[in-house]
Amino acid sequence: MPPAVPLRLELRGITKQYPAVRANDGVSLRVAPGQIHAVLGENGAGKSTLMKIIYGATQPDAGELLWNGEPVKVPSPAAARTLGISMVYQHFSLFDTLTAAENVWLGLGKHETLAEVTERIRQVAAGYGLEVDPLRPVHTLSVGERQRVEIVRALLTRPSLLILDEPTSVLTPQAVDKLFVTLRQLSSEGCSILYISHKLDEIRHLCHHCTVLRGGKVTGEVDPTLETNASLSRLMIGAEPPVLKNRSATPEKTGAVALDVKRLSLPQLDPFGVSLADVSLQVRAGEIVGIAGVSGNGQQELMAALSGEDRRAPAGSVALFGRDIAAASPRQRRLLGLHFVPEERLGRGAVPSLSLAQNTLLTRTQTVGRGGWLRLAETRALAADLITRFNVKAGGPDAVARSLSGGNLQKFLVGREIDAKPKLLIVAQPTWGVDVGAAAQIRGELLRLRDEGCALLIVSEELDELFEISDRLLVIARGRVSPPIATSQATVEQIGEWMSGLWPQSASEVAHAAA
């Protein structure tokens, strides 16, 4: 008999204790060569900590790691890459001031020139259908574009084990399909893949094996191809996610026009940005309008113009309940009832090194007294209430933002703005990297807010999400916005076509096409 092929990776009894939580509690895991192995669990279950231990970014308190059958220590990501392990983080590890190519080059050693790496990036990106411009500075890239850079960087190392933490969270369905082709090809060539995702359909269709974590412990191992979304959800969170009770907003149920954007055109702020061209849209009180589109088509620029970060909009081009706010600051807009949740959680939505209580002060100033004195007890009470109400897993109001898992921080930030009782709420990527239970909770809160009369504008690359909660849909492509279409009259295939910029030019043509 031929000798048994050793496991590519084996974990035995991995434990990691943090001051407020035991992230991993005696975790064991086995990954075979060429296996696509899912690690499933709700936010805060310990998945990302476990991946960081494998990649050498975090050291375990106890346990053993075997690589190709041999015990090894992985003291750093550089050591992991030497072994043949690459990782794509959910929260990206890119230097904003460097180009995409320079970021990739930093992690590849000194044996290639920057020009050679740049050319390899172009080849790999084209071969895998991942649009990446290697010469663009990272600070000019959207979240989706940054994720593509991270994936290309990992692929360039030709890994034996590729760790992907929520790799499709901001990719379009077409890009996801292309990525899956790439991953299956890598698997057929013997590359093992550890795949973290909250998208149960993806796990069932892509992965060969699934390990489930809950509370830092392994609670089950299954063949995902034999499971249903409901059974996987029960393994992960102990229950099936609640079914959203959505009723479509009709003209009779909506109120006044909350947001009115009229022919907004803005030149790009930097050479790699996107210019907005003749953007017009309306959002009424009591409705959710969704904006779909491939990342990097003007979403960032539009959000900056609506939130007040970019105040170059011509007078009269942006109005809130009939009042011109084109030149208003973000604070002035908040005072008028406009609240905003950006797509970047760490660095824009929250200051990583500040506590959750301190982060409430970024947009909630009711706990600031006369003379600028902070009412600290009220600030902590507000944060504690948000933690409880939105089921955020954190070490209390004094926990620093960067200590939370991505999904739990997202729940806190969305909750912070919902709790402000906005008249208009603009949210970018509301459930990026959030587990099915938490995603259902966030979407349910957005629907509840709408039913209470709030106007909501949701920008998302999750088409299923937009179809689930939106009353009307728009598409943004190359800085232009399509006419609106009622969600009930749209199809995923139709919106997918519109993402390339091919849509009817008027609302009447849209209605005719839908009919």
Distance CA 513, CA 262 (A): 24
- Identical topology for domains 9-237 and 257-337+422-514: yes
The domain locations on the chain are 9-237, 257-337+422-514
pLDDT at 110 over 90: no
State the virtual CA torsion across 126, 130, 133, 137 in degrees, nearest 10: -150
pLDDT at 2 over 50: no
pLDDT at 510: 66
pLDDT at 1: 41
User: CB within 8 A of 13, min separation 6: which ones?
Assistant: 26, 27, 28, 62, 63, 64
What mean pLDDT value characterizes the chain? 89
Question: Is residue 15 a contact partner of residue 25, using CB atoms and an 8 Å limit?
Answer: yes
- Please give the full DSSP string across 332-362, using - where no structure is assigned: HHHHTTEEEE-S-TBTTTB-TTSBHHHHHTT
pLDDT band at residue 295 under the 50/70/90 scheme:
confident
- The DSSP element (H or E) to which 514 belongs, if any, is helix 507-514
Mean pLDDT over 162-181 rounds to 79
Burial 71-104 (b: 16+ CB within 10 A, else e): eeebeebeebbebbbbbbbbbbebeeeebbbbbb
Distance CA 300, CA 335 (A): 23
Question: Is residue 175 a contact partner of residue 101, using CB atoms and an 8 Å limit?
Answer: no
Residue at token pair 């992960």:
236
Query: How much of the chain is in helix, strand and coil states, percent to nearest 5?
Result: 35, 25, 40
Is the whole-model pTM more than 0.95? no
pLDDT band at residue 242 under the 50/70/90 scheme:
low
C-alpha 229: how far from its chain's center?
21
**Per-residue pLDDT reduced to its tens digit, 142-159:** 777 888 898 899 989 889
User: CB within 8 A of 157, min separation 6: which ones?
Assistant: 81, 84, 86, 107, 108
- CATH H-level, domain 257-337+422-514: superfamily: P-loop containing nucleotide triphosphate hydrolases (3.40.50.300)
pLDDT at 5 over 80: no
Task: Indicate the residue type of 174.
Answer: Q
**Per-residue pLDDT reduced to its tens digit, 484-509:** 999 999 998 899 889 888 898 766 66
**Architecture field, domain 9-237:** 3-Layer(aba) Sandwich (3.40)
pLDDT at 446 over 50: yes
